[in-house]
A and B are shown apart, each in its own frame.
Chain A
């Protein structure tokens, strides 16, 4: 049983490779975060080391060990792996980590048939690390397979990409996520629908949110803040902008999340106003959306969506975060422009 959901293209290709015995020595799995890259990588690792009749069977010793992260021949290297003693979070995958992998790749498998090295977040490899990996990536020892996972292969050196077989993983359909959540009985049906929509086709995120209520609570807080800010005055807005800017210098991702949430929200407004209320993301807030939508014209919403997108782009390009966010706040449309 392949554990990964959807991704039929990638799975079919890998299955065919397995059947023909023409497994590539290195794969590059590209897809947004939480879409199932690691699951697919572990699926492949299990298929390669499975002792059952139908790899990956999921029930033999090897499959279970790999699933539990206890197999000696399946090594996952990422930012937080290979404890270097001082537990300092690393900013990149270092050349030392790559050297460890190379050393181990020259030895035969310890208990299984294939050694599988998974590099989680391959785009986080330092330049030296990536260059150091090239030789091994090109012609690893027999029975060694590298699987690189990345959400953005455009920042990987072309030399690395060209040495791998590239497989793209795509977001799932909302209905597919909802079915899985219901089948696995992770959450109650209404919550399953909400999570399926919120996750944007990334099943991993939905499962994370199902297991951890904090994520939804944070979202509720952010939405509350959004409503306050849009109905508040410029003082409050500037306050919020400066707080976000301070946050940005600590953690870029969290501000991007806020912008993404705003984008979803204003997109929903647009949909509600156009009468396509069924396709909105924030299904649990429909009443609030309908209410808020009355205050704005389509053109206003559309132009603010553009502002949010522009702000996100400018932040990525290292513009002054405070200025960008203040401009965004100034662009919040005024009510009553129907």
Chain B
């Protein structure tokens, strides 16, 4: 293997695949990154056996070949080089990669590329395309609601339903549920439901942050894999096996109180209350009062901690229906409020023991259900 490429490109490529490199692993070679020539490009690939990221960068290839080298070592070295041409050569006998850039030279011992776990090829299944902005929004608004602990494995993923020209993403952790609907740029041939690990979607969101082209998605539920094709980058994720709970019955059909609140004010009031709620298992209390003829409606956000003290915040709101009292875990409110881009959000409640529903005002593709906490008023 012999080739040359630009330091910036190689550095960027390594940072793209770097996040897929395994951290703690039983298979040491997954700490490595794969370097392989692919026609006139250099392919970089890394996997932690949960997802695999491949990235292609432009290179001048003189001799074909492939090798794996420790990912951290390589990216730290390349990252500290000046922005010039990097010459890469492999000595096949010793499996040593020689790197040369400006007046720096390094040799890194590699491991044979044929021992690297094969990056899965996703074939068959359904293919579709999504506009990148919609996907970014969708991932950001649901992924945080997925469970982090493993007791119910399906909840650590995001449920993705492809149907017609609509993609529904949903995540839940037993205390909250986030559902986002987004249009598909290309309709799917048949309805497909898969559970994508939240970690992989989080990584995908990071990768598409600077991209403008639509993302191609290929899903094969039988093989348990999904492929996301970006510009010069591919992410293959293993799918979580199992059935996602039927969440539609968890969404309240009606409500007795509906308050429309400014997102910014609501977020500030919740964050302030959370400071005091820290010692009191995160309980933030909301009292929603409808306005009179002369006075506007309001929401009072309060928290108290037996030992430290308490705080009360008041925000204006347009309230329909009756007065309501409800308590939530403050973290669940701040989590969802901080990802909303809209100016206003509506909060719908029925009684202190049934879930509250948050919906951004002006769009109807997102809803967030939060379970209340039981408190003595």
Contacts and interface: CB of A to CB of B under 8 A. Distances in A.
Q: Do A and B come from one complex?
A: yes
Nearest to B236: A110
B29 A108 contact: no
B310 to A, nearest CB: 37
Contacts of B240: 106-107
Interface stretch (B3-11, B37-45, B113-121, B301-309): B113-121
B24 A106 contact: no
B224 A76 contact: no
Contacts of A81: 26
A106 B224 CA distance: 11
Contacts of B239: 107-108
A83 interface: yes
Nearest to B29: A70
Contact of B241 (A65, A72, A85, A108): A108
Nearest to B111: A70
Taking residues whose C-beta sits less than 8 angstroms from the other chain, chain A's interface range is: 20 to 34
A81 B27 CA distance: 9
A144 to B, nearest CB: 9
B150 A72 contact: no
Taking residues whose C-beta sits less than 8 angstroms from the other chain, chain B's interface range is: 20 to 34
The main secondary structure of chain A at its interface with chain B is: loop
B104 to A, nearest CB: 28
B50 A104 contact: yes
A77 interface: yes
Interface in B219-247: 223-225, 238-242
A102 interface: yes
A99 B27 contact: no
Interface of B: 24-30, 47, 49-50, 115, 117-118, 120, 150-151, 153-154, 156, 197, 223-225, 238-242
18 contacts: A72-B27, A72-B30, A72-B49, A81-B26, A83-B24, A84-B24, A85-B24, A102-B150, A102-B153, A103-B153, A104-B50, A106-B156, A106-B242, A107-B50, A107-B239, A107-B240, A108-B239, A110-B117
Given A77-B26, A106-B242, 11 more contacts: A65-B115, A72-B49, A75-B26, A82-B26, A102-B150, A103-B150, A107-B241, A108-B241, A111-B118, A111-B120, A135-B151
Interface of A: 65, 68, 70, 72, 75-77, 81-85, 99-100, 102-104, 106-108, 110-111, 135, 141-142
